Chains A and B, each alone.
Chain A
Amino acid sequence: MDPTHRHEFEEFVARAEPPLRRALVAAYGFERGREATASALGWAWEHWRRLDRVENKVAYLFRVGQSASRRRKTPLLFVRDASSDPWCEPELGRALDALTERQRTAVVLVHGFEWTLREVAELTGTRISTVQSHLERGLRTLRTIMEVNDHA
């Protein structure tokens, strides 16, 4: 890759890495989500010319990451190893685990990161009404679980 393309790619990573990582972590948890992000960006680096024609690169790479992650059967989940910092949100992790992949993606991106329903629909290849349905169901479940835990 020539220096111009490398510079383009660096700018692209700076712009696209945060939303891509958040979306894949939302779907697959910390470890698999980050791994899928790294794989997807690596694929982008290796196929930069092909990717240049893609309109919505983050959505495209989200599917690359999905495919990479789904091939593996390792558990997802929002768990951390013992060596990491103390976790201040164990109940939030458990509550997010209880959601479906689509619900989690909608809740995290729309509610947590202020994506629009349209942006999530384009990311996941579903209709806006479907995203809204996942969001409402996910938020209801999340709040129910966390409220139960808060009061326990």
Chain B
Amino acid sequence: MRELSERIREFIDDGAAPIKVEEVIAQGSGLRSAPRRGWSTPAKVSMASVAAVAVVLAIVLPLTVWNTTAGRSTSPAPTGAPRWRLVSSQSSPFRALPAGGQADLQCVTDLVCYSPGYGSTDATDFYRTTDGGDSWHQTAPIPLHLQGGQLLFSCADAATCAVIGTAQNPGEMAEIAYTSDGGVQWTESPVPGPSGLANPYVGRMSCADGPHCVISVSSNAAGASPTTPPTGTFLSTADGGRTWTQASAMPPGANGDMWTMTCSSDGSCIALSVMGANPHWVVALRTQDWGMTWTAGPPADYNDAPILYASCGDASDCMLVPLAGPSGAPYEIATTSDAGSTWRVSGPPSGWENMPTAVGCAPEGDCWVAMSEYDVHSPAGAYSDPVIEATHDGGLTWSALAVPLAKPPIADVLTLSCPPSGDGCMGIGNLQDHFVLPPKGSTGRPAPLSGPLVISNLPTSPSPGA
């Protein structure tokens, strides 16, 4: 039998044909995205520029903080603000989350959160906590098949969730499992393929107000270029997935690939997408009737800036973190509080770390941004000194809270889920040692020293209305 290395080499190279430069130039990127994390020279150059500007401002202006043109400032957290606490480094769902992995976590109240299980042999493992992450319990088995191990879910409240699985029968686009009792029982239903789309697949799902769910659908038309933006539509259900209705039409120019989608209990939803070919404009698609009719807001104030993160706390308030724009900063913060009609765009406040790693938003302009210092040459690891900044006014002002002390130190926080209460978030991050290698010569398996850690600044007792 041939060497495994040779088989791997031929397998990979035979499976995906080389991409010609003509193909690249003809098609462009069709892309609105950018590095999720980790760049080298531009970040340093840009941060140096930002630092130089900050020094000049500090000399010229009698300011102790750097105010951007948007009037934003950063300051220590107010006295009495909830601190981040280390919940666990061995929580069941995340124990086998790969180092550097982002968890699909959703907290629906201060105490109740849901997450898929990671690293298990059964990709349909699904977990629930009712005590703010101190303990996690597996729900009843989800009656779905999954291909590729990517579980897509959305929970409307503490008891109601929907999970999308792979289609099993002709004519279906997917299957959905729905629970209204916190995962004790699941009901399975097919999700039909929408009309007019070739090879449709589910992009995003948002559920609110019990059995109401809206899903965005994209299309990979057969024969289309890989860089051709997909077209799409929306499907809506009002009965936990038993019946579905297709949106009347997409706004002209919008494609079906959504960065994020959030619905509120009054039937309003917002989906962040892009329009145009080159440059690409971020736009908010809005509906007031559970996804039946959609309108597109005006493009954001910047264009062609690749998006690192996007999060909407409700159908009006969203935050984007685009990669470097005209300001020269390594990344920017863009916020809207009017469902995308206007966007406030500015560079990060002075002193922020050079690498944002996660964004989470709650309703009414409450957002949290996790960031770390990124230096690929640091002996302590590429990511260090994480901080989580919070805003409660849509990005006008910020306050910072340090993450908990741990040994070894926390490297980064890659997931933030912030329930509608606005009290805070639960986060999933990594310590600076994800694994310890076995002694040299040992054939033993590398033992995980510290699993991905769970942190939280949510109250440990229910807040009124949470």
Contact = CB atoms under 8 A, between A and B. Distances in A.
Interface stretch (B127-135, B144-152, B176-184, B333-341): B144-152
Nearest to A71: B33
A129 interface: yes
A135 to B, nearest CB: 10
Interface in A102-152: 102-103, 107-108, 111-114, 122, 124-127, 129-130, 132-134, 136-137, 140, 142-143, 146, 150
B435 A25 contact: no
A52 to B, nearest CB: 10
Given A13-B21, A63-B38, A46 B29 contact: yes
Contact of A133 (B15, B19, B40, B434): B434
Contacts of A74: 148, 201, 220
Nearest to A78: B15
Interface in A11-47: 13-14, 17-18, 21-22, 25-26, 30-31, 33-35, 37-46
A38 to B, nearest CB: 5
Interface string B6-40: 01111111011111010111011111011111111
B171 interface: no
Contacts of B9: 112-113
B99 A102 contact: yes
Nearest to B379: A127
Contacts of A70: 36
A80 B42 CA distance: 38
B226 interface: yes
A42 B28 contact: yes
Contact of B147 (A39, A77, A129): A77
Contact of B42 (A40, A53, A142): A53
Given A64-B35, A140-B445, A92 B7 contact: yes
Interface string A56-78: 10011001101110111111111
Contacts of B18: 17-18, 21
Contacts of B437: 129, 132-133, 136
Interface in B191-222: 201-204, 218, 220
Nearest to B44: A55
A112 B225 CA distance: 28
B16 A55 contact: no
Interface string B257-278: 1010000000000000000001
Interface in B363-379: 374, 376
Contacts of A107: 8
Interface string A87-104: 001001100100011110
A38 B27 CA distance: 9
Interface size range on A against B: 35 or more
Nearest to B220: A74
B4 A142 contact: yes
B148 A77 contact: yes
B382 interface: yes
Contacts of B98: 100-103, 134
A53 B18 CA distance: 26
A38 B36 contact: no
Interface residues of B, number: 71
Contacts of B40: 54-56, 59-60
Contact of B17 (A22, A34, A50, A124): A34
B227 interface: yes
Interface in B307-363: 308, 324
Nearest to B447: A133
B100 interface: yes
B457 interface: no
Nearest to A34: B16
Nearest to B25: A45
Contact of B31 (A64, A93, A96): A64
B19 A38 contact: yes
B64 interface: no
A53 B45 contact: yes
A25 B40 CA distance: 23
Contact of B19 (A34, A93, A103): A34
A5 to B, nearest CB: 11
A16 to B, nearest CB: 11
B306 interface: yes
Contact of B30 (A13, A33, A39): A39
B415 interface: no
A125 B15 contact: no
Contact of A129 (B15, B152, B435): B435
B71 interface: no
Contacts of A14: 21
A67 B33 contact: yes
Given A71-B259, A93-B11, A111-B5, 14 more contacts: A22-B13, A35-B226, A38-B19, A39-B31, A59-B38, A68-B29, A73-B204, A102-B99, A125-B37, A125-B376, A132-B437, A133-B435, A136-B445, A140-B445
12 contacts: A6-B25, A10-B21, A14-B21, A25-B15, A38-B24, A46-B278, A50-B42, A63-B34, A68-B33, A74-B201, A107-B8, A134-B98
